[in-house]
Amino acid sequence: MSRIATFFKDIRDDVVDRHDAEVFGEGFDVAANLCVDLLSSRIADLRTQARSGSPLSPEQALLLAELTDLKDETERQLRNYGHDESVESGT
């Protein structure tokens, strides 16, 4: 392959790689936000119920605590994604 052909192939490959990374990144962000938003919505519903004068059942109170912890951990791992090896390895 000539130097010019190699040059243009390298440029093409770089453009394709950057495009794929951008598209994947956007999809990752959308999925991550969807997950956090779903948790946030359920937490807000339970807190609204508790503030409205309808006390939470013990099961609902436990669910609220677990969802809050899960949301906090999800946000922590998302912030550290790609920067924290323990997040990627699942440990």
pLDDT digits (tens, 9 = 90+) for 42-83: 999 999 999 998 899 999 999 999 999 999 999 999 999 877
- Given a cut of 70, whether residue 84 has pLDDT beyond it is no
pLDDT of residue 86: 54
Between 50 and 19, whose confidence is greater? 50
* Domain ranges within the chain, ordered by starting residue: 3-83
Note the pTM of the prediction, 2 decimals: 0.66
Query: 21-57 b/e with 16+ CB inside 10 Å = b?
Result: eeeeeeeeeeeeeeeeeebeebbeebeeeeeeeeeee
Q: pLDDT band for position 87 (50/70/90)?
A: low
- Given a cut of 60, whether residue 90 has pLDDT beyond it is no
